[in-house]
Chain A
Amino acid sequence: DTGVSQDPRHKITKRGQNVTFRCDPISEHNRLYWYRQTLGQGPEFLTYFQNEAQLEKSRLLSDRFSAERPKGSFSTLEIQRTEQGDSAMYLCASSSGLAGGHEQFFGPGTRLTVL
């Protein structure tokens, strides 16, 4: 399977715990995105990497959230001191930087439930 993969697919945690999600993009894609999707809503942009550089962050990304892409390949999204409002689907997407490479390919998402 050469698509975008995310791990874990589901995560249940208690309020106040830290969680970390992983995203593996399509191998030749240098751009990687994180979105958050709450039930019945469209995805909302969180952050974007080009290679290992984090180039844009949404104001939705509070200081409890941190994302990394250390070697320009996979990325991690960590949420510290989780709150019930963090419950959502976290989507990762990747795209190539080639001219015309505008399509973002999405992974299956990680569904987070904070109890």
Chain B
Amino acid sequence: AQTVTQSQPEMSVQEAETVTLSCTYDTSESDYYLFWYKQPPSRQMILVIRQEAYKQQNATENRFSVNFQKAAKSFSLKISDSQLGDAAMYFCAYRSEFQGAQKLVFGQGTRLTINP
């Protein structure tokens, strides 16, 4: 079974600075998807960024980028120019590419605080 580990329960960063959230995962599969989801306080979870395992190029979405190291099974999220609205729980998630396997496997989450 696949597992996802986020070793940083809490992180904080000064507004406008850069922060990196860590995620490692364990799988024996070669094809899969990795995601970062954001869950603001009392609000619903939204997708931040997605990475297909077959793509070597790291995904980027505006201020958000990932460092995907397939051999190391590492998938970190970098947030540049941090803004107050980035404060949230961030979850790393894995999804198999195996046909019929639709569930997301989540890590424990990292609570990100932005200091003004």
Contacts and interface: CB of A to CB of B under 8 A. Distances in A.
Interface of A: 3-4, 31, 33, 35, 40-45, 48, 50, 55-56, 58, 91, 95, 102-109
Given A103-B47, A107-B44, A45 B103 contact: yes
B26 to A, nearest CB: 15
Chain B interface residue count: which class?
20 to 34
Interface stretch (B14-22, B62-70, B71-79, B105-113): B105-113
Nearest to B37: A106
Contacts of B109: 40-42
A102 B95 contact: yes
Nearest to A100: B52
B84 interface: no
Interface string B79-115: 0000000000001010100001111111111000000
A108 B44 contact: yes
B46 A56 contact: no
Given A45-B103, A55-B100, A106 B108 contact: no
Contacts of A105: 47
A104 B104 contact: yes
Nearest to A95: B102
Given A33-B102, A56-B102, A102-B33, A42 B47 contact: no
B11 interface: no
B95 A106 contact: no
B21 to A, nearest CB: 13
Contacts of B101: 56
A113 B51 CA distance: 36
Contacts of A95: 102
A44 B102 contact: no
A108 B104 CA distance: 17
22 contacts: A3-B44, A4-B44, A33-B102, A33-B103, A40-B108, A42-B6, A42-B109, A43-B91, A43-B104, A45-B105, A50-B102, A56-B100, A56-B102, A56-B103, A58-B103, A95-B102, A102-B50, A103-B50, A104-B104, A106-B44, A106-B46, A107-B44
